[in-house]
Chain A
Amino acid sequence: MITQLRPMPPSLEMRAPQTAPLLEVDRLKAYYKTQLFGVDREVRAVDDINLKVNRNEIYGLAGESSSGKSSLIKTVAGAIRPPLRVVEGSVRFNFKDGERDIYKLSPQELSAIRWSHLSYIMQGSMSVLNPVRRIKHAFVDFALPHVNAKGADFTNLVERHLKRVHLDPAVLQAYPHELSGGMRQRVTIALATVCGPEFIIADEPTTALDVIVQKGVLLMLREIQQELKSSVLFVTHDMAVHANLTDRLGIMYAGRLVEEGRTRDLFKRPLHPYTAHLISSLPRIGDEAPKKGLEGSPPSLANPPPGCRFHPRCPLAVDICRREAPPMMEILPGHRAACHVAQADPTRVETVG
């Protein structure tokens, strides 16, 4: 469904943001650690990730299944439970009323920033609503404790917000099964944005929808984001959605961030062979050449290959890739990649795909 790249907002055009980034993830490592029958297992789902998300920006996160996308955003949201544990690194938010390190907060403080500063649109959000309770109860249960409004004020606030996302306030009286998939999705997004959060995490919110409804929901999400001037961390494996929605894009492979840059730059000129393959796999109008798949499958995160984790599947792999993990380096302005080959000669990657 890819049609064209979204024009870049002028504010993002080739200049560094003046304010500090809203989210800073620093050398974050989060592993699933289990100990069963005396056997220790460690799955490195999030391995040494650095990323920054600026204010008023939609940051996309792409990667295939089991590349650690969901683990990363759960860790960023502070919504992890054992066996997933943070091993190293930090997640810091610079909210308007102060900086916060998610993993240094008490449970009460963490609960206080949720919904009002940081909200989360869950994966499979079709089932986020409790099927035996009316929609209004979902708002009361999840959002009411986080806003300074009660009773009629709260109802007004919710109704005004629902109108903003083009929903009839009458849905408050409905049960989830009485709504269509698209409406339910709007309700979940409304639920996540009703408190005007500064940072919204969206985990594949449109995966279960068809493209027409998907487009409507994505447009609405962008509208809301621009109105609230909040940042969104948007996760999906659907590159077409990224091309249409996100300002900057990070590509994950096997628990690591392999490339990051403005979405437009990334699509125009990928610097990592994996990204190049991802993009060349997208259908293009007028292109009738058959698509080649990438050989092999992503490595097990319990036992990743040494060096660059992509090297067993990489057509450009050289000797150093098998020995040393490439660091994430800025190769072009605002465009980072973790690839030995691209760091030596950025033009080599263009031959891929």
Chain B
Amino acid sequence: MSALKIFRDLFSHNGEFAIGLVLLLVVLAVAACSFFSPYPPMDVYVVPPDVPPSWEHPLGTTSRGQDVFWQLTFAIRNTLLFGIVVAILSRIISLFIGLISGYKGGWIDRVLMSINDTFVVIPLFPILVLFYFIMRDQMSWALLAVITALLGWAYDARLIRSIAMSLRTREFTRQAVFSGMSTGKIVLQEHLPFVLPIVFSTTMNNINWSIGIEVTLSVLGFTDINTPTIGGMIYWANQHAALVSGIWWWVTFPVVLVIMLFIGLFLLAISMNEYIDPRSRLSRLGGQA
């Protein structure tokens, strides 16, 4: 079955997938609009400030003289990119650690898993805030992505390790060892295809998680506030007391868009899960797994 056909079937038979996909496509379309923006994202006072939504400015303008819609296109693009970069980086780490640890076992497993467990239990948010206070002006968007990725791989590494441990005892692994395949080849060619669907599903949750981190940090101003992001927009709105002075559109639209992104990714993740794990499909039909 080709990937396209799977997509079509999921879309027509799985409501969650359909809604999730539509929401995600809307968000992606908004992000894509940033390439056609008439205003540079960093410039202020390019339009009259505090204009409510109108034909000319569909989502209104901010107190800093920026068009909310075009500002939003840049913000969502950066936020989404942040989530994807974090997800990819942390996926690479968790795949590497999980597969090696599960396949090798022994002291390698013990060392890697004690590091892993350390990352599971350390409180994330204070550490990120701490990083901001240490780095201050050097705290760029890319650096924050790397730090978040370094903190966000541990849960999945454990999940992948448990799968790799079961794969290690299967006959085809023994056959591969007997035929003289190296550890790297066994892990990459024989075991990676098994974990990829699961990784695919957790990736979307990880994007959600990292966007949540980023929004929280930038709402509080603990990031590089000059790069337009969803959190950054809310930060500036708070700075100008937008809600008090009745500029509700400055806060509402970024929040609505990021919620759409959250829900879209979440629905995609659970419908993917259902596609990957036939047992959850069965329980949905009322059967017993």
List residues of A whose CB falls within 8 A of some B CB: 77, 79, 110-112, 114-115, 120, 122-125, 127-130, 132-133, 137-138, 141-143, 145-146
Contacts and interface: CB of A to CB of B under 8 A. Distances in A.
B178 A77 contact: yes
B171 A128 contact: yes
Interface stretch (B20-28, B38-46, B130-138, B188-196): B188-196
A188 B181 CA distance: 17
B108 interface: no
A129 B172 CA distance: 6
Interface string B166-205: 0000111011111111000100011001100000000000
A124 B171 contact: yes
* Nearest 10 interchain pairs by C-beta: A111-B180, A142-B179, A127-B171, A132-B193, A130-B172, A128-B171, A128-B175, A79-B178, A122-B171, A124-B171
A146 B175 CA distance: 14
A114 B193 CA distance: 26
B193 A145 contact: no
Nearest to A192: B175
A122 B180 contact: no
A115 to B, nearest CB: 6
A189 to B, nearest CB: 13
19 contacts: A77-B178, A79-B174, A79-B178, A114-B179, A115-B179, A115-B180, A120-B178, A123-B171, A127-B171, A127-B172, A128-B171, A128-B172, A132-B193, A132-B194, A133-B193, A141-B179, A141-B185, A141-B189, A142-B175
Contacts of B194: 132
Contacts of B175: 120, 122, 128, 142
Given A130-B190, A132-B194, A133-B193, A145 B180 contact: yes
A79 B190 contact: no
B179 A145 contact: yes
A307 to B, nearest CB: 36
B171 A125 contact: yes
A72 B78 CA distance: 62
Given A114-B179, A114-B180, A141-B176, 20 more contacts: A77-B178, A79-B174, A79-B177, A79-B178, A111-B180, A122-B171, A122-B175, A122-B178, A124-B171, A127-B170, A127-B172, A128-B175, A130-B172, A130-B193, A132-B194, A133-B190, A138-B172, A141-B181, A142-B176, A145-B180
A141 B177 contact: no
A58 to B, nearest CB: 21
A111 B182 CA distance: 10
B189 A122 contact: no
A115 B181 CA distance: 12
Contact of A141 (B170, B174, B190): B190
A143 B181 CA distance: 10
A120 B172 CA distance: 12
